[in-house]
């Protein structure tokens, strides 16, 4: 049996050379019957079973520990260092090993020394040595070897001490590695150890601060399984978090569990429930708790009333809030300032500023001067309503009652920056300094963020550069706001330089910073830099969150890297995340755009099976995928499901289904859906009109296509080039070329610039009705506009010119097309051969004839006849014989085909 540590070259063997599991058990059993040594007045076990008094460490004095420690610090672990240790007098004793481990600060070094000492004494270490090694891991915050060490301790029959367990968890909590802390406890449970009570409560408290409710609940249930007595405080902590996350069922379940266990629900918990449930919009639940506590004989206190008033105000139930406030304030000699502040905020949120000011006067009349909090509440609400002038007036008035604080000035600065009034915002900043209040980090963050959003980046950078880092150091919010602002406005190199500056100041960029950099590099066409940022993030040890991975996947699909997009979806799962509805929406949308719409079905059912709740965007993506893959009936079903689930179809929804129906010639159904969308008040766009125009045009229903075009223009929408191309194509296919030319002119009159597709349609139409010279005029106009003809345009024009007898122009165009990498089709070759033959250029025609045969293209019988006649006239008898033979072979094969 062999157990390998992650450190290369370090192996922990359990075999005959060192000791077996049985041998460990035998040796350790002796420790349980009294073999020990004393240290600082305490008995410490020795592996050899002897007892030694702690009289200055007789066997290995303090100097010996210093000598070992100095050797360990002298260089990297290796044979030379091991030899130096071996030259020291005597075998390493347990107390020495413990003392040395307690001084080490490097996990790898500690493990190496631990294993070396183990080999030297040829025995298992004692419990205290193992605990000391675990403490080194806690100090270094390195837990690579933790499971291995705990596994050995489990085999030995002892576990980490409560203090060690707590230290491991506290170390992770202090460094904000809460997931590592959770994993440590789970590893302990794996080996049937009993983590300390304080380890659980410390971690649950830390997880509460970052809203990791599921992890908290897992730990809470483990505590119950281990027989720990959980308190009302712990129940309250969990209930508060679940309620604030809107997970009402989980919160109520915990509350019921608490009551079933005969815990007494106190006023603190009732207040928490009222506040938490109310803040997520469960006002009726808050009312229920309010009445329940009174029924239990618990009198509501100021906190209860104030929480309930705040909940009612935020839910726009102002009248009920007013009634409760009056009930509370009635007959009170000293008003509750907190309740007044909450009610003033409530009036402000409702835009009832006269009532808010009246409440200020009422408070003053009761001998209670309104506080800065009351004024700040009014200013906050004025800011939300954009009433800047009124806010500045209140700011001046409040100075009679309360001295404006930093929060007051920050509210005003925020308001002025949002209004784009930078000059006055800077003036308020000067007021702060005059009042002896220096702008704090929040002030800077507000100004930087608002200026970035207003695209005033130079001003934002100026404020950032002007910060006095001794007084106010930029934090991750400052850097994140400016990095994102610069990136969104195309200054991605400046954003990256700021990111590097962030690293230089020992700030650790979070997933939000990396998300911004990746998104903006991709957005501005620099996908290689975007990929580089992601790799750099991983190398720096920053774990991506689901939002970052979703954003990265979206960027990758939009950049056309379909397989990379697929791989990122799999990476989401590999990193332990559950793909959410946005993950699936991005994947489906990306695959549909890349031509893999047929995969929509499979992904849709995977999303449903996982329990994803589809939002409007997800429904639109799925419906579009089904339409693009030709499964329009399925798209109809999803559309009905979308309505039943309470999601109103949008212009995108209707556009996808109408386009899908139009493409499979189900035009009457498409038109009915078009009318339904209008009746539902959906503002239809030019794209939907274009889908119908294209659909009706392709089946020759030109009059209906015209009517839809007229309606589009009557709605005040301007047909785009695609719309015009749909109508022109329909007219050309119906051989209404004169009408098409009128539409082409109308298109230009309406300032819609034709593209190469428009010209190709017109040229093709003119050639179809044998107006080759006019087609060439459009060809030349197209070239003058700087538009590059496509393959169809080239072949159409070449054939047309050749048939019209303009062989010089046709031949020049033909050669130019080939020189530019174009591949002429069979029709072009046949037209050129006939044209050259008719122009008495028999040998040129024959050369092209041979080229056509070499390419394996079909040569028409008529072409052979025309060429044969031209060769005879030119007395090119040898070439004529070859063409004649080909003509005979063609005739035979056609005869055989007819007979067959």
pLDDT tens, 883-896? 888 888 877 776 66
Beta bridge partners of 44: 37
Whether 90 has a pLDDT exceeding 60, the answer reads: yes
pLDDT in tens, 468-507: 665 677 778 888 888 888 888 889 998 899 888 888 887 7
- State the average pLDDT over residues 215-240: 87
The span from the CA of 833 to the CA of 774, in Å, is 22
The band of 900, judged by pLDDT with boundaries at 50, 70 and 90, is low
Q: 295-299, 756-760, 825-829: which has the minimum mean pLDDT?
A: 825-829
Residue 6 confidence (pLDDT): 34
pLDDT in tens, 394-433: 888 888 888 888 888 888 888 888 777 777 887 887 887 7
Whether 603 has a pLDDT exceeding 50, the answer reads: yes
Residue 168 confidence (pLDDT): 93
Residue 164 confidence (pLDDT): 93
Q: Which of 291, 388, 308 is nearest to 346 (CA)?
A: 308
Residue 49 confidence (pLDDT): 35
Higher pLDDT, 155 or 6: 155
- State the average pLDDT over residues 118-143: 89
pLDDT in tens, 26-48: 333 333 333 333 333 333 333 33
The span from the CA of 682 to the CA of 675, in Å, is 10
pLDDT in tens, 753-787: 888 888 888 888 888 787 877 888 888 888 888 88
Residue 190 confidence (pLDDT): 92
- State the average pLDDT over residues 510-538: 90
The span from the CA of 530 to the CA of 525, in Å, is 9
Whether 7 has a pLDDT exceeding 60, the answer reads: no
N-terminal to C-terminal alpha carbon distance within the chain: 78
DSSP per-residue string spanning 162-230: HHHHHHHHHHHHHTT-HHHHHHHHHHHHHTT----HHHHHHHHHHHHHTT-HHHHHHHHHHHHHTT---
pTM score of the predicted model: 0.57
Residue 193 confidence (pLDDT): 92
Whether 352 has a pLDDT exceeding 50, the answer reads: yes
Residue 58 confidence (pLDDT): 44
Residue 27 confidence (pLDDT): 38
Residue 28 confidence (pLDDT): 35
Whether 2 has a pLDDT exceeding 80, the answer reads: no
Residue 899 confidence (pLDDT): 62
Summary mean pLDDT of the chain: 82
- State the average pLDDT over residues 204-221: 89
Round the CA-based radius of gyration of the chain to a whole number and report it: 41
The band of 532, judged by pLDDT with boundaries at 50, 70 and 90, is very high
- State the average pLDDT over residues 264-277: 84
CA distances, 129 to each of 101, 192, 706 (Å) = 8, 20, 89
- State the average pLDDT over residues 138-154: 89
- State the average pLDDT over residues 236-256: 82
- DSSP state at residue 37: E
Q: 51-60, 322-331, 443-452, 516-525: which has the minimum mean pLDDT?
A: 51-60
Whether 360 has a pLDDT exceeding 60, the answer reads: yes
Higher pLDDT, 60 or 70: 70
Beta bridge partners of 13: 2
How much of the chain, in percent, has pLDDT values that exceed 90? 12
Residue 550 confidence (pLDDT): 92
Burial of 576 (0-12, 13-18, 19+ CB in 10 A): exposed
Report yes or no: 873 and 840 within 8 Å, Cβ to Cβ: yes
Residue 15 confidence (pLDDT): 37
């Amino acid at each position: 049996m062999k157990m390998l540590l992650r450190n290369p070259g370090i192996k922990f063997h359990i075999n005959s050379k060192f000791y077996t599991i049985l041998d460990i058990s035998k040796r350790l059993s002796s420790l349980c019957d009294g073999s020990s040594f004393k240290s600082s007045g305490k008995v410490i076990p020795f592996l050899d079973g002897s007892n030694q008094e702690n009289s200055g460490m007789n066997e290995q004095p303090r100097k010996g520990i210093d000598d070992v420690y100095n050797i360990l610090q002298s260089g990297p672990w290796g044979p030379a260092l091991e030899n130096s240790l071996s030259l020291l007098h005597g075998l390493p004793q347990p107390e020495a090993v413990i003392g040395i481990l307690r001084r080490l600060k490097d996990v790898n070094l500690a493990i190496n020394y631990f294993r070396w000492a183990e080999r030297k004494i040829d025995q298992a270490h004692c419990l205290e040595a193992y605990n000391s090694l675990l403490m080194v891991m806690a100090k270094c915050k390195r837990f690579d070897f933790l499971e291995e060490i705990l596994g050995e301790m489990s085999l030995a029959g002892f576990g980490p001490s409560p203090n060690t367990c707590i230290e491991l968890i506290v170390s992770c909590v202090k460094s904000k590695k809460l997931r590592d802390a959770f994993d440590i406890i789970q590893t302990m449970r794996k080996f049937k150890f009993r983590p300390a009570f304080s380890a659980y409560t410390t971690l649950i408290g830390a997880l509460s601060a970052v809203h990791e409710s599921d992890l908290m609940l897992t730990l809470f249930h483990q505590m119950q399984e281990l027989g720990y007595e959980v308190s009302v405080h712990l129940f309250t902590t969990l209930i508060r978090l679940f309620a604030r996350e809107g997970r009402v069922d989980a919160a109520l379940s915990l509350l019921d569990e608490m009551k079933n266990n005969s815990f007494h629900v106190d006023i603190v918990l009732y207040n928490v429930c009222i506040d938490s449930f109310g803040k997520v919009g469960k006002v009726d639940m808050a009312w229920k708790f309010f009445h329940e506590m009174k029924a239990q004989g618990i009198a509501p206190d100021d906190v209860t009333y104030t929480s309930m008033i705040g909940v009612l105000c935020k839910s726009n139930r102002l009248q009920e809030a007013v009634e409760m406030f009056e009930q509370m304030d009635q007959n009170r000699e000293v008003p509750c300032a907190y309740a007044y502040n909450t009610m003033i905020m409530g009036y402000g949120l409702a835009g009832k500023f006269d009532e808010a000011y009246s409440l200020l006067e009422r408070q003053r009349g009761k001998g209670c001067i309104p506080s800065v909090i009351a004024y700040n509440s009014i200013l906050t609400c004025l800011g939300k309503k954009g009433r800047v002038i009124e806010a500045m007036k209140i700011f001046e008035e409040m100075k009679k009652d309360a001295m404006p604080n930093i929060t007051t000035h920050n509210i005003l600065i925020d308001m002025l920056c949002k209004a784009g009034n930078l000059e006055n915002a800077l003036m308020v900043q000067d007021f702060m300094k005059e009042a002896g209040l220096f702008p704090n980090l929040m002030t800077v963050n507000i100004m930087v963020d608002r200026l970035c959003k207003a695209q005033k980046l130079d001003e934002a950078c100026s404020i950032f550069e002007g910060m006095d880092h001794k007084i106010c150091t930029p934090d991750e919010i400052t850097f994140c706001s400016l990095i994102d602002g610069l990136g969104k406005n195309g200054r991605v190199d400046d954003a990256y330089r700021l990111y590097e500056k962030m690293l230089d100041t020992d700030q650790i960029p979070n997933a939000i910073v990396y998300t911004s950099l990746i998104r903006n590099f991709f957005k501005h066409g620099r996908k290689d830099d975007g990929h580089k940022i992601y790799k750099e993030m991983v190398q720096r040890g920053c774990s991506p969150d689901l939002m970052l991975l979703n954003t990265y996947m979206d960027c990758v699909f939009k950049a056309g890297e379909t397989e990379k997009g697929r791989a990122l979806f799999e990476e989401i799962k590999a990193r332990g995340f559950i793909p959410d509805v946005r993950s699936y929406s991005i994947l489906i949308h990306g695959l549909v755009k890349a031509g893999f719409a047929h995969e929509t079905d499979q992904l849709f059912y995977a999303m449903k099976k996982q329990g994803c709740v589809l939002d409007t965007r997800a429904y639109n993506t799925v419906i579009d995928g089904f339409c693009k893959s030709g499964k329009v009936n399925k798209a109809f079903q999803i559309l009905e499901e979308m309505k039943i689930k309470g999601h109103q179809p949008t212009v995108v929804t209707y556009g996808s289904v109408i386009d899908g129906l139009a493409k499979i010639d189900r035009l009457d159904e498409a038109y009915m859906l078009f009318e339904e969308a209008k009746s539902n008040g959906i503002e239809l766009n030019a794209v939907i009109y274009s889908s119908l125009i294209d659909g009706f045009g392709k089946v020759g229903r030109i009059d209906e296509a015209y009517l839809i075009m007229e309606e589009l223009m009557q709605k005040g929408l301007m047909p785009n080039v695609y719309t015009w191309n749909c109508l022109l194509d329909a007219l050309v296919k119906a051989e209404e070329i004169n009408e098409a030319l009128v539409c082409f002119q109308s298109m230009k009159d309406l300032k819609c610039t034709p593209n190469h597709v428009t010209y190709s349609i017109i040229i093709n139409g003119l050639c179809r009705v044998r107006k080759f010279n006019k087609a060439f005029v459009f060809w030349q106009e197209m070239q003058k506009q700087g538009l590059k003809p496509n393959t169809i345009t080239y072949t159409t024009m070449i054939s047309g010119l050749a048939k019209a007898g303009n062989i010089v122009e046709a031949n020049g165009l033909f050669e130019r097309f080939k020189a530019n990498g174009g591949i002429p089709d069979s029709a072009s070759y046949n037209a050129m051969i006939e044209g050259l033959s008719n122009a008495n250029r028999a040998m040129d025609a024959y050369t092209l004839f041979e080229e056509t045969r070499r390419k394996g293209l079909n040569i028409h019988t008529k072409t052979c006849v025309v060429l044969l006649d031209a060769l005879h006239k030119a007395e090119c008898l040898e070439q004529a014989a070859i063409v004649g033979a080909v003509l005979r072979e063609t005739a035979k094969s056609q005869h055989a085909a007819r007979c067959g």
